[in-house]
Chain A
Amino acid sequence: MTAFHSVVIVGGGGAGLRAAISIAESDPNRSVAIVSKVYPMRSHTVSAEGGAAAVIAPDDSLDEHAYDTVSGSDWLCDQDAVEAFIDEAPKELLRLEHWGCPWSRQPDGHIAVRAFGGMKRKRTWFAADKTGFHLLHTLFQKALSYPDIVRYDEWFATTLLVDDGRVRGVVAIELSTGRIETIVADAVIVCTGGCGRVFPFTTNATIKTGDGMALAYRAGAGLKDMEFVQYHPTGLPFTGILITEAVRAEGGWLINKDGYRYLQDYDLGTPTPGPVLRSMELGPRDRLSQAFVHEQEKGRTIDTPDGPIVHLDLRHLGADVIDAKLPFVRELCASYQNIDPVHELVPVRPVVHYMMGGIHTDLHGATDLTGLYSAGEVACVSINGANRLGSNSLPELLVFGARAGEAATAYAAAAHTAGPTAAIEAQGRDEQRRLERELARHDGAGGPRPDRIADIRTGMQEAMESGAGIYRDQRTLRTAIDRIRELKQRYAAAVIDDHSRTFNTELIATLELSGMLDVAECIVDSALRREESRGAHQRTDFPDRDDDRYLAHSLIHRQPDGEARVSYLPVTITRWPPGQRVYGR
C-alpha cells in the first residue's frame, strides 16, 4: 500500500511535535503526518527534568547566553546558529506558556528561572523537575487541536526512500499488525532523538537507539561531530536514571569518599556554602564527568557492586526546598535507590546522556540530502559543539523543530511531485522483501549456538564503554572498531525467536540494533580521526585542544561501497574568537 503526505515527520517527541504544529499553523491545507514508534507522549522528551534556558530575566542578556553556550561548546558550535537559537528561545518558551505549559512561577506570577551548569545568569525556566514531561504533554495536547495532523502511532520507519538524489518518503511497519507501508512525501523531517542505548549505562529510555541517524546515514546524508558524546555527571548507579543538574543549581554538593567537595581540585573554583554560577558544582558537564574519572584514579571514589560512585549531598537544602523544586528527584531516589535525599546521601556516577553530534543540518534544519530535514537531538546544527550546556536542549528542539517545519513546508510546496515514481515504488517493494527476510531469521542449520539479539547488543555496548568512553585513545578506539565490525558480522547470522506479525517487538529490536551498529561505528570512526581533546572528546594520547587542525566539524558519510569517509567543515565564528574556557575564577 502507498500513502501520500506533503511532509512526513519521523519521531513524535518535542522536535517532531513542534515541527508538526508549525506546519499545521502555517498551511492548514498541507498534509502533515507523524510516524512514531511510540505514542507521542511516550517519547523521551518526557524524561527531561531540570529546565529550558532562554533569556527573560531583567539582569540577563542575549550576548551572555550566547557566550556561555559558545564557551561551553569549547568553541566548536557555529556562532550564527547559536545567535539564532538564543534570539528565538525566549519566544518559543513563551509560546509554550501560551499553550498552557505549567512553568514554575515567582510569587508575582512571572516566570521563575533557576541556575544551571555553565550559565553565568539564572535563565533556566522550569516546571519543578518534570520540565520535559510538561513540555511534551503541552505540545502533544496542543497538537491534538489540529485534527489535520495525521498520526502513525506505533509505526517504525525502516528506510528513507531516495530517488534521483532527493528524499521522497519512508517505508514503515505498523507494530500492531505487521503491515508494511510505503509513505510517500515531498519532504521528510527526522526528529527521532538520540542514541544513548549504544552504550550500556545511559539515562536514555530504551527507545533511544539512534534510528534517525542510521536512516539518514544509510540514505547518504552526513553525520556531524559524532565523536562528541555527553556524560552527565550524576546518574543513579544501578539504573542510570538521571538525577537532574537542578539539584546542584539549588545548592547540592558533589563529595568524594572523604566527604570532600573534590571539584575544587580541578580548576572549577573554590567551595562556598551556596551555589555560585559557572563555578564548582555549576561547572559544565564534560569537566565534571572528567573530574570523576580523576577522583577514581586517585582512589577517592567509593566502590559498589554497581561501579565506583561519589555522593550528591542535598541534606542541607531541607525538605521544603526539595519538595517544592525537586519532588521528582525525591520520588526517584525513594523508588529506585531506596533512600530519602532529605536525610541521606545520593550515590551517583557519570552516565551517557546526550549526543552533541547528529545529522548535519543548516540553520533551517536542511540536511545535505535534498528533501531531508532534521531537528532535535538527532540533528547537529550545531549549537552544542563539543559540549552541550544543561537546559539548552529543550529550547533547541523547539527553535529548530519550528524552523525545520517551516523550511520543509516551503520546500514541499515548491517541489511537489504527483505520486510516487517507478523507482520509489520499486524501492518500497525491495524494502518489503528485506523486512520479510528479517522476520524469517531462523537457526535452521543446527550449527554452533547462534547469537541472540541481546548478546550482540550487549557486546556493542561493552565495546563502546571500554573504547569510546569519557577518556579514549587510539588503542581503545581501534579495539572498539574491530569489535563493532566483528559484531556486525555476527549480527548478520543472529536469530530471532519471534516470527509473528502481531506486535513483534523482537523484530523491531533487531532493526534498531542494526542501526545502532552503524551509529556506533560512526562515533568511533569520528573519534579515531580527531587527534585532539576538546569538550567531551578527551584523547589521552592527544591531551590538548588543537585549533590549527581541529577547529572544525567532523562529517562522516557512507560511501556507495558501504565504507565510511570522514571529512571536515569549518566552524562558523561571528563574534567570539576561540579562547580558554574559564570556570570558577
Chain B
Amino acid sequence: MADHDTIAVEVTRYRPEQESVPAPQCYRVPLRKEWTILDGLNHIKDRLDGTLSYRWSCRMGICGSCGMTVNGEPKLACSTFLTDYAPGSIRVEPMRNFPVIRDLVVDISDFMAKLPKVKPWLIRADEDEQEDGEYLQTPEEKEAYQRYSMCINCMLCYSACPVYALEPTFLGPAVIALGQRYNLDSRDQGAEDRRDVLASAEGAWACTLVGECSVACPKGVDPAGAIQRYKLTAATKSLKEFLLPRGAR
C-alpha cells in the first residue's frame, strides 16, 4: 500500500504485566474517507496486532464507550474521522484524568460511584398511581431540562476538566449536569434532597468556570451552563434563607 493511501496512527500502549510506563506504538492503517479513528483501531486489532485494547460498542456516538484523547483533544473515536488528520499523523491516547487499566482503557469507577450521589431519579413527595395516567408536562417544560438529559456518560468532560485533574473529589461536569437535569424537570420535587451534594465543596462551587467541559461534550449537553445555573439558584436560595423568615422562603 502506498504511503499516501495510509496514515500513521501512534497509539499509547500500556500493559501492566509488560510495561512499567505507557509508551507509544506506531501502526499504519488505510486512509479511507469513511473510516473513523475507531475503524482504524479495529483494523489494527483485526489485522495487525490483536493485543491492542480499547472499549467500543455502538459505533454511532450514543453508547459513550469510546472516549479517547486524539491529537491532544478529548474525542469519541467512533465520531472522529481519519481524514480530518491527513496527511499528518494521528496520536491516540487514553482519556486524561483517569487511571489507565490498559492501553486505551481507563478506570471509570470513580465516576460510577459519584453518579448515584446526585439521586438521578424522579423524586416526588407522594407518588401518583399509574392508573391516574401520566404526569403532565408541556413541551416547554420538557425543553427546560432536555439538553441536560442528553448526556451519554462518555466522560470526555472529565478528561477535559482542569478542576477534576487537580481535585479528584470534584463531582464533575456530567454528574452535576445530571443532578440539574432532574432538578429542572417539572415532574420532580427532589431539588432539596440533592442540595447537600450539589452545593457542597465538591459540588458546583468547586467549578472554576473554565468551560472546557462544554467544548469537549460531543452531545451539546453544556455541563458548564448547568453548573452556572445551579450556582445561581443555590446563591439566590441562600440569600433568601438569610434575609427572609422561614415561612416566606
Contact = CB atoms under 8 A, between A and B. Distances in A.
How many B residues are at the interface, by size bracket?
35 or more
Interface stretch (B1-9, B119-127, B200-208, B226-234): B119-127
A176 B107 contact: yes
B134 A94 contact: yes
Nearest to A143: B121
Contact of A142 (B101, B121, B138, B146): B121
A207 B56 CA distance: 9
Contacts of B137: 105, 109
A107 B56 contact: no
Given A97-B135, A503-B105, A47 B60 contact: yes
A401 B189 CA distance: 28
A332 B78 CA distance: 11
A257 interface: no
A411 interface: no
Contact of B133 (A94, A206, A452): A94
Contacts of A104: 139, 142
B102 A503 contact: yes
A181 to B, nearest CB: 18
Given A133-B152, A241-B60, A107 B138 contact: yes
Contact of A100 (B55, B102, B187): B187
The majority secondary structure among interface residues of chain B is: loop
Interface in A132-169: 133-134, 137, 141-142, 144-145, 147, 153
A426 interface: no
A319 B46 CA distance: 40
Interface string A92-114: 00110111101111111111000
Contact of A452 (B50, B108, B121): B50
B197 interface: no
Contacts of B18: 500
Contacts of A94: 130, 133-134
B17 interface: yes
Contacts of A100: 121-122, 182, 185, 187-188
13 contacts: A41-B63, A46-B63, A94-B134, A102-B142, A103-B134, A110-B134, A144-B115, A145-B121, A205-B63, A332-B61, A502-B101, A503-B103, A506-B50
Cβ-closest 9 pairs across A and B: A109-B136, A497-B50, A454-B46, A100-B122, A144-B116, A141-B120, A498-B51, A503-B102, A205-B57
Interface of B: 15-18, 34, 45-47, 49-51, 53-65, 79, 101-103, 105, 107-108, 112, 115-116, 119-122, 127-128, 130, 133-139, 141-142, 145-146, 149-150, 152-153, 178, 182, 185, 187-188
